[in-house]
Structure 1
Amino acid sequence: MMRRGGAQVQTGGARGPRRSAALHHPAVAVAVQAGAVLHPAADFRQCRPMFRPVTLPLWLLVLILLFAAVTFASHFLFPSVRWFFRKRMERAVARLNTRLARPIEPFKLARRHDMIQRLIYDPAVTQAVVEHARREGVPENVAFEQARDHAREIVPSFSATAYFTFGTRAAQWLSRALYRIRLGAFDRAALDAIDPDAAVVFVMNHRSNMDYVLVTWLAARTSALSYAVGEWARVWPLAPLIRAMGAYFIRRRDRGALYRRVLQRYVQMATAGGVTQAIFPEGGLSLDGRLASPKTGLLGHIVEDFARHSRDVIFVPVALNYDRVLEDRVLIGAAAAGNRRFRVPLSKIAGAVLGHFAERLTGRFDGFGTASVSFGRPLSLSEFLGPETPGPNTAGVVARQLMARIEEVMPVLPVPLVAGILLDASPLPAERIELRVAARLAMLHGRGVALPRRDAARITADALAILRRRRLVVEGGEGIAPAPGAGPLLAFYAASVTHHFEPARLAAPRPD
């Protein structure tokens, strides 16, 4: 035992030298001077390096805290927040489904990541991956990653909140801001009789890019629609919004066998899952105003897979027509050039938008006329096929049948009606145009065609007001005639209803 400054320090044994060295440690010296008694069994924690203070730069401390916060958030906070909001969304969707005629199916509400995984591990897709790797001479894992990229490009990320809170309201506002909206032919009894478990597919003619907006709003009380959208919309910030609305992107060109298989399986899985869809069998906008020959791309995928699931598929024909198509001059220019490249300079678009706002601010904007939507007779695929299974030509037959039903209910609007009259005979006084309008309406009366809910005088006045405002007609001593260079535009509008006045159609028996 050794006494120092009144403090007793016990030492002894073979550990004496090491204990003596420890006594020279500054912390021990302080303890001794303070009168503390250090027992030989003390662990000297204060002397170990791991308990010594460490000096760090401030930026490193901030970085460590940031990494810790991110780790905590990703492992504890974010999952809880996601769970909370997903539960809220599920309750909101459950309330929403009570108001919809066709509730949103679970397939549409699945997480995008889960849908991508389900799609790329589908047996048909994995077989296509193997064939693609063999054909292109690449490893299968490379081909699999290409399939994953295709799936990410196609699969949407539907948000019920974005669709019903923002999307449908924006669609309603825009439609009413530009057009006078009219519902044409509409057989409510036939639509209400559709099997609630069937997959409904709205098949529409493609007249304008406003088609998406108009039908989204009008079908909002029925269900959430899933569209196929072209590559033109794959730009920020449009692409995330369109995906949130439930639309999926498809390529018009550069589509290999692997891409086609991934797209095919997604469409077939959505149909088997009961997702309400909307497709344009023409494959693009009409360049001349007429209905184009149908293509059997997406429609063929749906028909081909019909025998592999128990759900019926109901096709609902939808006909759209406008007094003013926003892209009419662009479409006519593409038709004259012989291609479908719609390259509009950004300056021209900006000028048109600014001019429109100027008209609104000055009170000179009087609308673009009427936009009308008609619903044709639904076609049940199970009833159409009967006991037969779909063959290689079935999709073409179904497509032609649907286009014929669209033609039957194509709305007749003032501008197309008067444009056709002016192209047939001009110049004509306004009174003579009115008489011809009345005669043509009488021809179509009772044939199930959607006609304007106005008399001939009002129809003529409304159509001429729009044509004058666009400087498509001129007035002289003999009456009203097409303006120089206005022929292609008038023909574009007249072509949308010309089929109603074909002799064979007028001679056919009137529908019951």
Structure 2
Amino acid sequence: MTQTVELPLWLFVLIVLFAAVTFASHFLFPSVRWFFRHRLERAVARLNKRLERPIQPFKLARRHDMIQRLIYDPQVGQAVRDHAVAEGIPEAVAFEQARRYAREIVPSFSAFTYFSFAIRLARFLSNAFYNVRLDYQNEAAVRGIDPSATVVFVMNHRSNMDYVLITYLAAQRSALSYAVGEWARVWPLSRLIRAMGAYFIRRKSGSDLYRQVLACYVRHATEAGVTQAMFPEGGLSLNGTLGRPKLGLLKYIIDGSDPEKRDVVFVPVALNYDRVLEDTILTTAANRSERRFRARIGVIMGWVLKQIWRRITGRYKRFGYAAVRYGEPLSLRAFHNTTEDDLTVPLARELMSRIGGAVPILPVPFVSWHINGAGPMTRMELEQALIEWNPARSSPVVKSLIEEGLTQLTDRRILIEQGDAYAVGPERPDLLRYYAASVDHLLKPKMPDDDAGAEIDAATAGS
């Protein structure tokens, strides 16, 4: 027992490494994980006291546990058996396919990443690019939503800045869980998006097994009261108008809810911009009648570097206003009582109607709509049009808003000056139509009342 044993150095090093790994995995790592998880739980408890809607335990569950919960759900189990029969493959193969789908869908929410990094970045980007405005159609109704209800923010999709803007403006309410398309499934963006609680969806998947796994995840999230956000249009608007809603995700939420146990409240959220960052790409795609966006990484990086250089040299100007308006909330429980038929289509129509009625009317869309419809107009004629639309505006405010709209449009050569009047420029008439279309449904039929669109000088959201 006391004899000396000689070993080669490489073998001794190998034994020490194995011993260290065994000690760490069995004794050290569990204690360290428990220590940090306990600190995280206390931090989340403090954070929940500041939020209107606390972070649900469902969002904080380990990703591995959530994946296991999904793939062993009876709904997914039946889908696996049906898929195996339909494809003529063993159930074990279909089960592994369901597991891959679950791993693709399930997020790995990090409260630290969301509240310490993502929200600060969203605040910086939002205020760097825009003068941010926030407004309500009925603030009391939004703040009076049942605390136990599942809240789903339903938004029009104008720009990829929508994610950034709503994350920033909803920061005091809760952590949002987004449905994000396949475009974001690239490293390292995918890791960041998952850490923010978003989940990926394949919008054109023909696999019934995939749809059942996704429906199961949405059902679990809805039952658990997770605050969600969705874009029913399913993609960016190419022509500036509200698109037709896609019904899949909305149907999953309806099917996954039980109004007797927990109500689901949909909050329409309307967004609009004086300048959509992707407007040239979107209008080009619209002219080609295709949804393929040709945005090379070199072009994007060149644009970013150009904006940074302008900021360094003091020539940088923000892109006008970006506005968010909360519409009238809609209770699924109350809506369910209005019909015994399938709710999906009438609910989608009602939500899109409420979003459309809440779209903010900003300087650039306002000026674009009038000149696109009436032809060349003078500054005075535009100011008079704004006064007729909203007589409550003071003269200095009216002049400032029209000046903002004209400056944005002339700087980009969308409008040109013809004597005292402003007319459509020859280079980018499609961009003028694009911005005019965003408010056409509000301005065209009749001059709206105060509830038809957001005030174009609403209260500042804050910095």
TM-score of the pair, normalised by structure 2? 0.93
Corresponding position of 2:378: 429
Return the letter of the residue paired with 1:206: H
Give the distance between the partners of 1:254 and 1:411, measured in 2 at CA.
34
Deviations 1:440-496 (A, max 9, x none): 334xx7xxxxx9997221111111111121121111235211110321101111111
- 4+ residue segments displaced more than 6 Å: 451-454, 507-511
Name the structure 2 match of 1:29.
none
Q: Contact 2:259/2:332 (CA < 8 Å) preserved in 1?
A: no
| Contact persistence 1:414–1:452 (CA under 8 A) | no
CA shift for structure 1 position 357: 1.0
The 1-side partners of 2:382 and 2:450 are apart by 26
Matches within 5 A, 1:286-365: 286-307=237-258, 310-365=261-316
Deviations 1:129-174 (A, max 9, x none): 0000111111101100000000000000001111111111111111
Do the aligned partners of 1:97 and 1:103 also contact (CA within 8 Å) in 2? yes
Which consecutive residues of structure 2, in runs of 5 or more, have no partner in the other structure? 454-463
Query: How far is 1:308 from its partner?
Result: 7.8
Q: Which runs of 5+ in 1 are unaligned?
A: 1-44, 446-450
Q: Give distance in 1, aligned partners of 2:375 and 2:427.
A: 15
**Pair 421,375 (structure 1): closer, same or farther in 2 beyond 3 Å:** same
Counterpart pick for 2:42 among 74, 91, 102: 91
1:176 aligns with 2:127: yes
Give the root-mean-square deviation of aligned CA atoms. 2.2
Moved more, 495-504 or 257-266: 495-504
Map of 1:491 onto structure 2: 433
48, 55, 58: which is aligned to 2:7?
55
Give me the whole-angstrom Cα distance separating, in 2, the residues matched to 1:396 and 1:388: 12
Kept in 2: contact 1:179–1:370 (CA 8 A): yes
Match of 1:268 in 2: 219
Query: What SS does the corresponding residue of 1:455 show, helix, strand or coil?
Result: helix
Looking at structure 1, the residues matched to 288 and 331 of structure 2 have their Cα atoms a distance apart, in angstroms, of 40
Mapped partners of 1:313, 1:385: distance in 2: 11
Partner Cα distance (1:327, 1:97) in 2: 36
How far apart are the structure 2 equivalents of 1:471 and 1:404?
Answer: 33
User: How many pairs align?
Assistant: 453
Instruction: Name the SS for the 1:131 alignment partner.
Output: helix
1:401 pairs with 350, 369, 382, which one?
A: 350
Q: 1:179 to 1:118 in 2, by over 3 A?
A: same
Structure-2 residue corresponding to 1:414: 363
Which structure is larger by alpha-carbon Rg, 1 or 2? Answer: 1
Confirm or deny: 8 A CA contact 2:151 2:226 kept in the other structure. yes
* Match runs of 1:11-410 below 5 Å: 51-56=3-8, 58-307=9-258, 310-386=261-337, 391=341, 393-410=342-359
For 1:248, give the aligned amino acid.
Y
Deviation at 1:505, TM superposition (A): 7.7
* Distance apart, 1:504 and its partner CA: 6.3
8 Å CA contact 2:413, 2:427 repeated in 1: no
Distance change (3 Å), C-alpha of 1:453 and 1:212: farther
**Do 1:413 and 1:452's aligned partners in 2 also have CA atoms closer than 8 Å?**
no
Contact preservation (8 Å) 2:220, 2:256:
no
SS at match of 2:136: coil
Identity over aligned residues, as a percent? Answer: 56
CA distance in 2, matches of 1:334, 1:452: 40
Whether contact under 8 Å (1:412, 1:452) holds in the other structure is no
- Give the number of the structure with larger relative contact order, counting CA–CA contacts within 8 Å between residues 6 or more apart: 2
In 1, the alpha carbon distance for the partners of 2:394 and 2:287 equals: 31
CA distance in 2, matches of 1:509, 1:410: 10
Q: Equivalents in 2 of 1:169, 1:453: separation in Å?
A: 36
